[in-house]
């Protein structure tokens, strides 16, 4: 079957088109919250200059980061990039050196301090190089265009029903990706940016990650295997992300349809650091997935926004990479490969059980 007409041309990025709408609605929300604060006192929903600037900076950074990382990482893709083989070789070499240093540290008390220092540096090098090799290889092999060329179902076209199907399936994939980002530390290191604000208003929606190139996501390109064009996958992405924007607010209480649809109330729970709210309500447009798969929590107690351990900074670089640095610090201090890899792939906050 022929491939079609240039996939109906490239899809328009709806999230970029909506930029004037973002600023207009943030302005209106700011005025409303300022008036409320004069009458009722301050709240975590209020705009704070440094916090808002950080969120907007992260939003702009998230638009440009893919362009930069794609150019920088392209030569490192295993099997495709010029330096891909060297990257894999470097990762294996660093891992072998770490293993040898671990052995020396266990067998020689005199040489143990030096061996530990070698293992500390080489283990971090192995994790970074290996991680870049895995994530770049996964990303390059799961693009919508690549999976479209291998589709299992003929082209479904571009009618309204197909667009609706694309939005529904994108939403389903997003639920599992979002849930994964909360359950594995190296993925949380990418996503934690979005949860780092202790405020909750429309500007928080724009506090987006800049390091998604270092994650392994369930690819949205799987929709292309089902005959959905890459341009419609991009359209579905825009629809979902635009929907998520308006739910980052305290100015709206409950709304009709919350049994099925995500809402500000449901998403406030997701941003809560309260124990009962942790890792709940991962849906994008539909809260249905959370209800079906056991991650739904209604809004009850007052939500405390932010992280269980807040980072107390407005520096965009620290906001973007603080968890990556903390994770690699734990890797450097670990003394076995089991611990090192556990610090990377297990749940955020994981620590080894110390002997009694």
pLDDT at 146 over 60: yes
pLDDT at residue 355, rounded to an integer: 72
Task: State mean pLDDT over 16-35.
Answer: 95
Mean pLDDT of 162-180: 98
Q: Give domain status of residue 165, yes or no.
A: yes
pLDDT class of 236 with cuts at 50, 70, 90: very high
**Of all residues in the chain, what percent carry a pLDDT higher than 90?**
94
Residue 340 lies in a domain: yes
For residue 309, being part of any structural domain is answered with yes
Mean pLDDT of 145-162: 96
Please give the residue range of the domain that contains residue 220: 6-76+142-345
pLDDT digits (tens, 9 = 90+) for 62-80: 999 999 999 999 999 999 9
Average pLDDT in the 240-246 region? 96
Residue 49 lies in a domain: yes
Q: Is the pLDDT of residue 155 over 80?
A: yes
Res. 35: pLDDT tops 90? yes
pLDDT tier at 354 (50, 70, 90 boundaries)? confident
Please check the confidence at residue 60 and state whether its pLDDT lies above 80: yes
Identify the sign of the CA torsion 305, 306, 310, 314: negative
285-302 residue pLDDT tens: 999 999 999 999 999 999
Report the alpha-carbon distance of residue 193 to residue 209 in Å, rounded.
6
Which of 7, 10, 11 is closest to 227 using CA atoms?
A: 7
Segment 139-155 mean pLDDT: 96
The answer to whether residues 174 and 237 touch, using CB atoms and an 8 Å cutoff, is no
User: Would 110 be classed as within a structural domain?
Assistant: no
Q: What is the pLDDT of residue 20?
A: 93
pLDDT band at 180 (very low <50, low <70, confident <90, very high): very high
The model's pLDDT over 299-347, given as tens digits with 9 standing for 90+, comes to: 999 999 999 999 999 999 999 999 999 999 999 999 999 999 999 999 9
pLDDT value at residue 230: 97
CA distances from 326 to 90, 124, 256 (A): 23, 12, 42
Is it the case that residue 137 has pLDDT exceeding 50?
yes
Counting the structural domains of the chain, the total is 1
In a domain? residue 109: no
Where is average pLDDT lowest: 51-55, 107-111, 191-195? 107-111
Structure tokens that stand for 354 in this block: 């110390």
Percent of the chain with pLDDT over 70: 97
Cα–Cα dist 175/294, whole Å:
12
Spatial contact of 306 and 195, defined as CB atoms under 8 Å apart: yes
Residues 5-23 pLDDT 10s: 444 445 678 888 889 999 9
Burial of 17-41, coded b for 16+ CB within 10 Å and e otherwise, reads ebeeebeebbeebbeebeebeeeee
In this predicted model, what pLDDT tens digit does every residue of 69-122 receive, in sequence order?
A: 999 999 999 999 999 999 999 999 999 999 999 999 999 999 999 999 999 999
Residue 1 has pLDDT above 50, yes or no: no
Model confidence over 198-213: pLDDT tens digits? 999 999 999 999 999 9
**pLDDT value at position 13?**
81
- Compute the distance between CA of residue 197 and CA of residue 203 in angstroms, rounded to an integer: 10
Tell me if 114 is assigned to some domain. no
Q: What pLDDT is stored for residue 356 in this prediction?
A: 65
Domain presence at residue 334:
yes
Q: Residue 4 above 80 pLDDT?
A: no
């Amino acid at each position: 079957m022929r491939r079609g007409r240039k996939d109906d041309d490239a899809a328009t990025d709806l999230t970029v088109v909506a930029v004037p709408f973002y600023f207009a609605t943030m302005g209106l929300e700011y005025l409303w919250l300022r008036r409320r604060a004069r009458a009722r006192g301050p709240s975590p929903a209020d705009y704070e200059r440094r916090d808002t600037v950080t969120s907007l900076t992260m939003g702009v950074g998230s638009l440009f980061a893919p362009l930069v990382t794609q150019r920088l990482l392209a030569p490192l893709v295993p099997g495709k990039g010029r330096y891909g083989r060297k990257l894999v070789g470097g990762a294996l070499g660093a891992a072998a050196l770490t293993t040898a240093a671990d052995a020396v540290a266990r067998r020689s008390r005199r040489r143990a301090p030096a061996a530990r220092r070698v293992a500390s540096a080489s283990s971090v090098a192995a994790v970074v190089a290996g991680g870049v090799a895995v994530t770049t290889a996964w990303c390059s092999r799961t693009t919508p265009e690549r999976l479209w060329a291998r589709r299992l179902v003929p082209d479904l076209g571009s009618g309204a029903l197909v667009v609706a199907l694309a939005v529904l399936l994108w939403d389903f994939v997003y639920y599992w990706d979002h849930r994964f980002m909360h359950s594995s530390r190296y993925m949380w290191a990418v996503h934690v940016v979005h949860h780092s604000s202790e405020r909750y208003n429309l500007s928080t929606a724009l506090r987006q990650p800049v390091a998604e190139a270092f994650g392994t996501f369930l690819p949205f390109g799987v929709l292309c295997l089902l005959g959905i064009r890459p341009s419609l996958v991009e359209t579905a992405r825009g629809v979902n992300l635009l929907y998520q924007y308006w739910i980052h607010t305290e100015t709206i209480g409950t709304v009709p349809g919350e049994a099925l649809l995500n809402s500000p109330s449901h998403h406030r729970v997701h941003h809560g650091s309260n124990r009962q709210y942790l890792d709940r309500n991962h849906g994008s447009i539909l809260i249905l997935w959370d209800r079906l798969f056991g991650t739904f929590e209604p809004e009850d107690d007052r939500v405390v926004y932010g992280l269980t351990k807040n980072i107390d900074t407005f520096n965009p670089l620290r906001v973007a990479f603080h968890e990556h640095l903390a994770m690699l610090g734990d890797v450097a201090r670990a003394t076995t490969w089991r611990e090192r890899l556990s610090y990377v792939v297990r749940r955020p906050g994981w620590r080894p059980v110390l002997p009694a």
